[in-house]
Amino acid sequence: YGVMSMDVVARCSTTKARVGKLSLPHHVVDTPVFMPVGTQGTLKGLTTKQLEKIGIQIMLGNTYHLGNQPGEDILEEAGGLHQFMGWPRALLTDSGGFQMVSLLKLSELSEEGVQFEHPRDKSIMMLSPEKSIAIQNAIGADIIMQLDDVVSSTETDAKRFKEATRRSVRWLDRCISAHKRNGDQCLFPIIQGGLDESLRKECLHEMTSRVVPGFAIGGLSGGECKDDFWKMVTTSTDGLPEDKPRYLMGVGYAADLIVCVALGCDMFDCVFPTRTARFGCALVPTGQISLKNVSCSKDFTPIQEDCHCTTCKSYTKAYLYMLFRANHPSACHMVSVHNVMYQFNLMRSIREAIKNDSYPQFIKDYFLKLFKTPLSYPSWAVDSLNSVGVRLK
Amino acid sequence: MKHKRLLYFSIKRFKSTVSNMSTECIKEKSQEKTLTFTRNEQVTHIGIPCCIMHTRTGCIPHLTEETLDYLDKKLIQNIYQVPLPSVIDYQDILEAANTNTLECLCMPNTSVLYATVQDFSCLPPSGYNTNKTVAVWGAGGKISVTPQSYMKLVEVLKPDIFQVLADGDVLKAESRKRIIKSVNRSVQYLDECIKHHQQSKPLENSKMICMIEGGNNLEERKRCMKLMLEKLKGHEDCVWGFGIDALPREKYISEGTKTVIKLLNDELPAGKPLLVHGFGHPLNIIDLIEDGVSVFDSTYVTELSESNHALVYGIPSIDSSLSLLNGDAKTNCSIVDVDVRKFVETIDISDSCFSRSFAPLVENCPCYTCVNHTRAYIQHLTVVNEMLAPVLLMLHNFHHHLTFFSALRNELNACSNLKSFKQKLIALNSMH
Ligand SMILES: [Zn+2]
Ligand SMILES: [Zn+2]
């Protein structure tokens, strides 16, 4: 797989955490990495120059949305999404399946693919593995995802999970043969298996026997109980090869990121940091600050004193309070810059801690700041970290 | 004396030299055609015609300090307009900040601050003003402002210049009776504002802009001006300039509007700048300058960008004009003959005809947007309603609009009238 390589440059001697350099066609990405989500070829009003300045090395686009608008043809004519949106660094796209399940009415699921009915014009659309790959080939992201058979992680029918997992393996094979740009795009399978450990292991066995450049861990972060969540994550990383990146889909809260890095995951994405910015929520080491709250109205300090983002350099909480009260779009941009920077800095300090082999201490310090007292540590976090040798209490 | 208002130099200078300023004087010191502001011994020169940066709560809509920084510094005139509706709810915060307004609103500390009664990019609903109060709509709804409460807020803001409270709610074709009322009220407000200003320590360095009302009625405009000048007798020093309020929002200014402006320009004291809000169409700007207006604002840029429009008209610069004159462009056409409806100044970038246009908004435009993005991408952003669309449009439209103003200043410095500039502009941009 010439288009991509992952060099593991440091390992934590206690946990499964590692630091890597992921060489992609458009950029070298330092892992563990958090990838901000730019659904429609843009990230919440931020310019690509701002994203580069923050240090973002890879971001996400959503296949379903981009396939709708501007559409496959225009993206192809533009020379791909990189050209279209003016983003020189790495991109990743999803298969489109998840969005279709959540936004459209599922009309029929068959071996051929997923059929949907459009809510407005009632037209029927078919998303097959081949179709998903064709759109993703037109978009041209550095990393693309297989189409999988998505089941809600709170689904209770075990038979449905078995069917979906086995179908996802068959669809992976179809995606691999449909993929036309092996030279400059990496196709990731998505490990399924719901919350059933043996089913996950079966899926891991099947998918790791294919020639693929990296793996996504799917079917989680859908509202399942956190005890099940971390067990499935750790089962998945245990079954994955050491020399390939592991992308845990849909994770973005600080505590979750810290735990899942310890469990051996390398890549994460989540709409949370930018979505929450829109509503005036700023991320800080102690959790979140709601800038619409009247307690900020006379606070003439920046969101975070030691933050080097352009927002914290120029603006105070009181000023952001005024802008949010007036529904000023610039306020969203200001907080988005800070939040994207916050996630970026978090991941950078995680990488530093792993390189210094002080990651367990980093976890302890961060948790104490975030939760204030060990009494408020969530039990799933305590248990999961315990499983990799970090005793929080 | 068509251009006499362009002839004054600095606020300081003109106090002593108003009476004997001459065209000779201007040519000698053409570089001095500026507005001068002094605060804490820091002097700011602003060239005229000038374009005041329109803000809401001190922030240029859709931009941040970081993105505003993409604009060419040489184009930005460091004067910012803060409309009352965008700060009226935060009086307590401004007071609590215990610093100056610029610092509280996180604005560059060298900025000149100009407070206006309304936000000209989103005027309030009509019909809420009374004999005693003007309705201002803050984030929390309507607030009725009296001259006293208005001046108290101005004292909190401590702007370099501020509008005197006025009833400008006569934009539409109002009855004569309503216009008379607006003049009477505004003259009364002026009287109270002057009294307050005279005794105000915090405002000793702040100067007033008197808003002349009278709607589309020439007689009322005259009456308003006469009454205001009477009230101002002995207080000329605290007046910075005159604003012509409540001009109709026409795409091309009508002869009626021009008559009003010409009248005011002829009768108002020379040396005090004449100012209008909301105008931005290049032909209008030129006409207004020719009629004596020297200060404008950027609400046009905000309005265009928020309605998905991009400025695309060609700007004749002194250099490029030579080749134009030598070419076959119809520079001889009389301005009177020009069919202004054929003048193309903007495009609606949300139009699907741009979905496959992989060219920048304006070829060779050096702005951030044009260097980095295509029409097709911006079209896509408008279709999906993404926040980056107005950001990119603001950056381009600002660059374009301020470049136009800079070209106007150059032209006036070089030849002190805009006749040939206007002809070239029309020749460049008229559809045939
Ligand atoms: Zn910050
Ligand atoms: Zn441009």
A196 is catalytic: no
Are B355 and A323 within 8 A, CB to CB?
A: no
Radius of gyration, CA atoms only, chain A: 21
Q: Tell me the shortest Cα–Cα distance from B65 to chain A, in angstroms.
A: 7
pLDDT, residue A123, reads 82
Mean pLDDT value of segment A240-252: 97
pLDDT, residue B432, reads 64
- Enumerate the H helices of chain A as residue ranges: 48-54, 63-66, 72-78, 81-85, 97-103, 129-139, 158-178, 197-208, 226-238, 254-262, 272-278, 310-314, 317-325, 329-355, 359-371, 379-387
The structure tokens listed for B231 are 């009230």
B-chain residues near A42 (CB < 8 A):
381, 386-388
Identify the burial level of A197 via C-beta atoms within 10 angstroms of its C-beta, where 0-12 means exposed, 13-18 middle and 19 or more buried: middle
**CA pair distance B210, B163, nearest whole angstrom:** 6
Are B56 and A329 within 8 A, CB to CB?
A: no
**Beta-carbon neighbours within 5 Å of ion ligand 2:** B 365, 367, 369-370, 396
Half-sphere exposure of B43 (CA within 13 A, CB side): 7
- Residues with Cβ < 8 Å from B409, sequence gap 6 or more? B33, B47, B48, B49
Mean pLDDT value of segment A187-202: 96
pLDDT, residue B337, reads 53
Go through B51-79 and write b for each residue having 16 or more CB atoms within 10 A of its CB, e for each that does not: bbbbbbbbbbbbbbbbbbebbeeebbbbb
Mean pLDDT value of segment A114-133: 86
What value does the mean pLDDT of chain A take? Answer: 95
Phi and psi of B159, rounded to 5°?
Answer: -75, 165
**CA pair distance A230, B401, nearest whole angstrom:** 56
A334: CA distance to ligand 1 center in Å?
Answer: 9
To the nearest 10°, report the CA torsion of A373, A379, A385, A389. Answer: 90
Of 3.40.50.720, 3.40.50.11540, 3.30.565.10, 3.20.20.105, which CATH number belongs to B2-305? 3.20.20.105
Q: Which of B56, B60, B62, B67 has the most A C-beta neighbours within 10 Å, making it the best mutation to test the interface with A?
A: B67
Find the largest Cα–Cα distance for chain B: 63
What value does the mean pLDDT of chain B take? Answer: 87
B325: CA distance to ligand 2 center in Å?
Answer: 25
pLDDT, residue B248, reads 86
**CB–CB of A367/A381 below 8 Å?**
yes
* Contacts across the A-B interface (CB distance below 8 Å): 127
Report which bound ligand comes closest to the CA of A308: 1
The structure tokens listed for A97 are 């399946």
- Residues with Cβ < 8 Å from B31, sequence gap 6 or more? B413
**CA pair distance A168, A156, nearest whole angstrom:** 18
pLDDT, residue B25, reads 31
- Residues with Cβ < 8 Å from B423, sequence gap 6 or more? B331, B332, B333, B335
**CB–CB of A124/A117 below 8 Å?**
yes
Are A327 and B67 within 8 A, CB to CB?
A: no
To the nearest 10°, report the CA torsion of A39, A44, A47, A52. Answer: -70
**CB–CB of A95/A132 below 8 Å?**
yes
The model carries a pTM of 0.93
**CA pair distance A243, A5, nearest whole angstrom:** 8
A322 touches chain B (CB under 8 A): yes
**CA pair distance A162, B63, nearest whole angstrom:** 51
ipTM over 0.90: yes
Asked whether residue A231 carries a pLDDT value surpassing 90, the answer given is yes
Are A327 and B139 within 8 A, CB to CB?
A: yes
The bridge status of strand A186-188 relative to strand A190-191 is unpaired
Q: At how many degrees (to 10) do helices B318-326 and B388-415 cross?
A: 80
pLDDT, residue A100, reads 74
Tell how far CA B154 is from the center of its chain: 20
Higher pLDDT, B20 or A30: A30
Asked whether residue A120 carries a pLDDT value surpassing 80, the answer given is no
Residue with tokens 């999803």: A94
To the nearest 10°, report the CA torsion of A284, A289, A295, A301. Answer: 40
Confirm or deny that B396 is annotated as ligand binding: yes
Cβ neighbour number for residue A65 with a 10 Å cutoff: 17
A293 touches chain B (CB under 8 A): no
For chain B, domain boundaries: 2-305, 307-429
- Residues with Cβ < 8 Å from B288, sequence gap 6 or more? B253, B261, B276, B279, B296
Mean pLDDT value of segment A375-387: 97
**CA pair distance A42, A85, nearest whole angstrom:** 7
A299 is catalytic: no
Asked whether residue A164 carries a pLDDT value surpassing 90, the answer given is yes
Q: Tell me the shortest Cα–Cα distance from B403 to chain A, in angstroms.
A: 22
Report which bound ligand comes closest to the CA of B399: 2
A315-345 pLDDT, tens digit each: 999 999 999 999 999 999 999 999 999 999 9
Q: Look at residues A235, A99, A116, A218 and name the one whose alpha carbon lies nearest to residue A168.
A: A218
B394: CA distance to ligand 2 center in Å?
Answer: 10
Q: Look at residues B292, B323, B302 and name the one whose alpha carbon lies nearest to residue B401.
A: B302
- DSSP codes of every residue in B242-305: EEE------SS--HHHHHHHHHHHHHSPTTS-EE-SS---HHHHHHHHHTT--EEESHHHHHHH
B363-421 pLDDT, tens digit each: 999 999 999 999 999 999 999 999 999 999 999 999 999 999 999 999 998 888 899 99
Tell how far CA B251 is from the center of its chain: 16
Tell how far CA B48 is from the center of its chain: 11
Name the stretches of chain B with pLDDT < 50: 1-31, 321-335
B-chain residues near A40 (CB < 8 A):
380-381, 384, 386
- DSSP codes of every residue in B120-159: TTSPPPSS---SS-EEEEETTEEEEE-HHHHHHHHHHH--
SS3 A217: strand
Query: Which of A7, A266, A269, A365 is labelled catalytic?
Result: A269
- Residues with Cβ < 8 Å from A306, sequence gap 6 or more? none
Residue with tokens 């802009």: B209
